[in-house]
Structure 1
Amino acid sequence: MKKLLPILLLLLLAAKEATAQQAPAVLPLRERASLEDDLLRERLEKLLPDLMRRAGIDMWLVVAREYNEDPVAKTMLPATWLGARRRTILLFYDRGAAGGIKKLAVARYNIGNLMQGVWAPEQEPNQWKRLAQLVSERSPRKVGLNYSPLFAHADGLTKAEYDSLLHYLPPAQRQAVVSAEGLAVDWLQTRTARELDLYEQISRIGHDIIAEGLSERVIHPGVTTTEDVVWWYRERVAELKLSSWFHPTVDLQRANPGAGDSQRSFSERPGVEVIMPGDLLHVDFGISYLGLHTDVQQLAYVRRPGETEAPVYLKKALAVGNRLQDILTSKLQEGKTGNQALKEALTQAQKERIAASIYSHPIGYHGHGAGPAIGMWDMQQGVPGTGDYPLRHNTAYAIELNAKVNLPEWNNKEIRVMLEEQAVLTPNGLRYLGGRQKELLLIPRPAAHLQH
């Protein structure tokens, strides 16, 4: 804890500076790595035992090869390890409440100071034989391996590694092998209290970048294109020493008496448009920081000369999107499946005459994270398999959806109010991480906001 205090102090000072200067606050890489390692250590020591016992698995083997890492393995390596080294085998053995989880690396190296290396090639040249020896000595009841027909995140054990492992395991241990699908999914989707506190700041950083991109600093109506803004976001992320896990989207909707973009398929990426006064802009943007991801969609209005705020009809349209968010989040409860929550939310939206489309998903170590799918844009009747997975507490979700709204003021143009924000499901209910959009961003921003 003493080691962590300077890092937390830096984080608090950075957050204070960000508030004063309205700029994102990001830790230097060195402090960032130390914080990531402390978060991982806490997860291995405090979270992993509960997850293994809930899954009924007393030994978990995670096998990774250099350049072909298991998605789970990548979340268990120190921050300074950018990938596995040769073949890296992680062995977690539950010795019970008194003994805790023994964490071993069947590899040439210690895994930082998190896991002890227990393979000496000079004594036993065959890595698989050494693994088989370690497993036999412990006689586990269930040996969990990462294979899954449903979740790519939990299917990281390759066919060749699986065959080699089973070839060397003694018959008794071979019979104990089970899929670790549930354990792997829960490891990836469950956040600790400290991670959730950090997630609040990560989300605010993402919001700050979005607001800066959708402002007069970047956008000059009649000149700036949607593609210009997309690449501004990519450059800004690189300047901040962050990363993007997907290429941003910036598109617009406007009054159009012709076919226009209203006929564009929802699956198509929008074309390049010059941004003009009166446009409703939409951005889909996410960052990766401290091992966690954001996925946010927000809206901005480009003011016409003489306007001080967005038109009332656009404000009302945003309110419809916010109402749909409220409907969905009211249905998210632990134990329900993603498909159950989806059906209940769409049924309520239909009662309120909201033309809704819901495609929400877990988010955390991965942007489209492991866990229950809550609809997909092309599967509004439910998602077979992954949609049947139950919701868990302390899981972050990207509340992603859209509501269609007809605008008589735009020649009966039907627009989509596309919104997305991070939220976490807790025993005390669901809360948004870093807030959510309830007012349209304005371009240019009002003078009072600029002075602030």
Structure 2
Amino acid sequence: MGIRRGRGPIAGVAAALIAWAGAAQAPTTAQMGQRMAKAPVTAPILPMSDVEQASPAPPFILGIRDRAALENAILAERLDTVVPAIMRAQKIDMWVLVAREYFEDPVVATMLNAESLHARRRTILIFFDPGAGKPIERLTVSRYGLGGLFQPAWDPDKQPDQWKAVAEIVAARNPKAIAINTSSLSAFADGMTLSQYKDLTAALPQAARDRIVSGEKLAIGWLQTRSPMEMQAYPGILRLAHSIIADAFSRKVITPGRTTADDVVWWYRQRLSDLGLVPWFHPSIGVIRKGSAAMLEGDTIIQPGDLLWTDFGITYLRLNTDTQHLAYVLKQGETEAPAGLRAGLRAANGVQDALLSSFRVGATGNEVLAAARAKAIAAGLKPSIYSHPLGYHGHAAGPAIGFWDDQRGDERGSTPIAPNTTWSIELAAYLAVPEWGGQEVQFRAEENAYFDGTRVRFLDGRQTAIRLIPNK
């Protein structure tokens, strides 16, 4: 399927299915089988855009076999490019990762090929940089192969002890530094358990133990860095999520006076199940109503005049989306949302602008937070910023930019922002709504974006107009 086994570049994944990229209806199984026989598979490739479509058509969704082929191609590209870059940047010549069945290290879980759903028994991965510009070795010390992406390096018949096999690999290569995934700051980089650490170090001579260092920066670098193939696919993944939100906030799903907030929540869950997709968190629907200080949820019946909020995210091709949008249920005779509500979304867009303009390579998440807040406040806005990295996880590896309950910054935002990373631009603006008697409303917004090291671009636009739901 266009994947070169073992080390080396990918034999390019052709844009074989782009003809279906804008189609609302998926190709049939027979059509996909015919196309698979002719060319490798790719996801719908859509360009990044700063403008969100009002009623986006859903891109087609790959079948499971096609998804696996694309996921493996992306993984091969990442192993060929991201691993050498991060190891050499950190001057680490050996990286040892250990996972146990159903208890994967977060990094190992993202390095398994699509057919290896979990680590088997104990899976040990070893990366070694021999230097002199030679390729990084990728070894697996386990009983099971990993789709040809790692070189098997253990024969239990010759060496029954798995840990001794690791020690022999270490001795033969004599690395200067042995990185393991341990971190007090990030769960993503803390996958080495105490028992596995004890077994590993017991197998190594003292000289090798003295070379063990934290692989925190390797783990974060691997998880947060997006590859070119991922960035070809990501806008289409978000377009798919946007199309589902557009349906949720429409008369296809909502009948004012009858539909409850929970009805829409469970419509989301059912819709994803029907499409063969999964959410990475349970969706949210909130009702913001004139005269109500709190957001209403659950069995609240949606009525004309309500401002609706949703928080929704999917996982597809191992990547996650995270979006918050607003909709307004028109009252009799209305053709648009009240001016005060429209001004609230504009204020949220203003906070977004302040945040996007504050990104820079090397600045910490806390520094970006402080700069963005200062700009927003100087513009007369009342901001709350709580943005986070996005990628293999919804709340992903990398520095945080604020928290909804802490606008001062803390240790989770103390590390620098890196290029080639994806972000959930999550925030809110507070504004009094004249039509609601001066009631202050929190206007939440969340869009997904890519930082290339110079500028931040939305993957599939941002909401600049409140979605309207007719009352009949």
Q: Partners in 2 of 1:429 and 1:28 — Cα distance?
A: 34
For 1:16, which of 5, 16, 22 is the aligned residue?
A: 22
Q: Partners in 2 of 1:201 and 1:360 — Cα distance?
A: 22
1:237-386 equivalence runs, <5 A: 237-256=272-291, 260=292, 262-263=293-294, 270-384=297-411, 386=412
Instruction: Name the counterpart of 2:115.
Output: 80
CA gap 1:81/1:180 in 2 versus in 1, 3 angstroms = same
For 2:144, which of 89, 96, 109 is the aligned residue?
A: 109
Quote the RMSD (CA, aligned, Å).
Answer: 1.8
Instruction: Name the counterpart of 2:190.
Output: 155
Instruction: Name the counterpart of 1:55.
Output: 90
Q: Partners in 2 of 1:295 and 1:251 — Cα distance?
A: 16
2:24 alignment partner, SS class: helix
1:23 Cα shift? 3.0
- 1:374–1:383 contact (8 Å) kept in structure 2: no
1:312 Cα shift? 2.1
Deviations 1:340-397 (A, max 9, x none): 000111122222221111100000000000100100111111022x211100001001
- 2:280–2:313 contact (8 Å) kept in structure 1: yes
1:9 Cα shift? 1.5
What TM-score do the two structures reach when normalised by structure 2? 0.89
Q: Partners in 2 of 1:211 and 1:228 — Cα distance?
A: 16
Instruction: Name the counterpart of 1:450.
Output: none
CA gap 1:374/1:97 in 2 versus in 1, 3 angstroms = farther
1:173 Cα shift? 1.1
Q: Partners in 1 of 2:24 and 2:13 — Cα distance?
A: 18
Q: Partners in 2 of 1:359 and 1:237 — Cα distance?
A: 27
Aligned pairs, number: 436
Aligned AA (1:112): G
Q: Partners in 2 of 1:263 and 1:208 — Cα distance?
A: 28
- 1:7–1:35 contact (8 Å) kept in structure 2: no
1:6 Cα shift? 7.7
2:140 alignment partner, SS class: strand
Q: Partners in 2 of 1:398 and 1:368 — Cα distance?
A: 9
- 2:399–2:417 contact (8 Å) kept in structure 1: yes
Instruction: Name the counterpart of 2:235.
Output: 200
1:47 Cα shift? 1.6
Instruction: Name the counterpart of 2:458.
Output: 432
1:406-421 equivalence runs, <5 A: 406-421=432-447
- 1:325–1:399 contact (8 Å) kept in structure 2: yes
Aligned AA (1:203): L
Q: Larger helix proportion, structure 1 or 2? A: 1
1:271 Cα shift? 4.2
Q: Partners in 2 of 1:444 and 1:394 — Cα distance?
A: 41
Deviations 1:159-186 (A, max 9, x none): 1001110111111111110000011001
Q: Partners in 2 of 1:14 and 1:7 — Cα distance?
A: 14
1:99 alignment partner, SS class: coil
1:44-193 equivalence runs, <5 A: 44-193=79-228
Aligned AA (1:309): E
Q: Partners in 1 of 2:471 and 2:230 — Cα distance?
A: 33
Q: Partners in 2 of 1:221 and 1:17 — Cα distance?
A: 30
- 1:14–1:26 contact (8 Å) kept in structure 2: no
What TM-score do the two structures reach when normalised by structure 1? 0.93
- 1:292–1:366 contact (8 Å) kept in structure 2: yes
Q: Partners in 1 of 2:398 and 2:58 — Cα distance?
A: 33
Unaligned runs of 5+ in 1: 447-452
Deviations 1:84-110 (A, max 9, x none): 000000000012253110000001122
Deviations 1:59-113 (A, max 9, x none): 0011000011000000000011110000000000012253110000001122111
- 2:58–2:239 contact (8 Å) kept in structure 1: no
